[in-house]
Amino acid sequence: MKALILAGGLGERLRPHTEKIPKPLIEIGGKPILEWQITWLKRFGIKKFVLAVGYLGEKIEEYFKDGKNFDVHIEYSYEHKKLGTGGAIKNAKKFLESENGFFVINGDVITDLDPIKLIQKLDNGIGAIAVVPLPSPYGIIDFEDASGKIRRFVEKPLLPEYWINAGVYFLKRDIFDYLPDEGDIEKTAFPKLAEKGLLFAIPYRDVIWKSVDTHKDIKEAKKILEKANYL
């Protein structure tokens, strides 16, 4: 089983970090995001990787090489212009089309969710998306409706009635019939699959999940890993 990691983004909101290194090589607790991802997926038996790289992709290849030092096998799919997430997957077709299905991971996500659940619940669909509860960006105030008396303050809780895309997918190779040459899978292929009833959401509760998009996210991801005893 292979995993394609989308690692070609510019990481503009993380400058100046990303002026000299690509976003997936930004370190969280002394280890690049990509290395955290590879370590996580290895725990579930996934040891074959395709890294879809673009901006400063040679830096990623210099770090990981063929993956031997990390006890995995790594291949590289280079994009020479911005293709979007859908285009990047299609660009990597030659590495993936021999597989019945494969995982796709956004290269800025720190998580410990079990990706194998995506396969087990896919049924007759073409794609499965891991979804997690929406983390509130703000603290909330819990108070009595009648009196207005405040009961408690809750710092940035999860909102269990709302679910967001966790950036972890399992896709059957039929996905290539739906992918654009350029454009994001979330705006092109996924809506078409949903209309046909071929796309499934698999909810995950009580898992680590953090998308690293800003400088603040780097610090928060480190705290999350420390709390989970990964650091």
Contacts with 196 (C-beta within 8 Å, 6 or more apart), sequence order: none
Backbone phi, psi, residue 151, to 5°: -90, -45
Instruction: Cite the beta strand spans of the chain per DSSP E.
Output: 2-7, 27-28, 31-32, 48-53, 73-78, 101-106, 109-111, 127-135, 140-143, 150-154, 158-172, 199-203, 209-211
**Residues that are catalytic:** 156
- Is 88 in contact with 5 (CB distance < 8 Å)? no
CA distance 132 to 177: 27
CA distance 170 to 176: 13
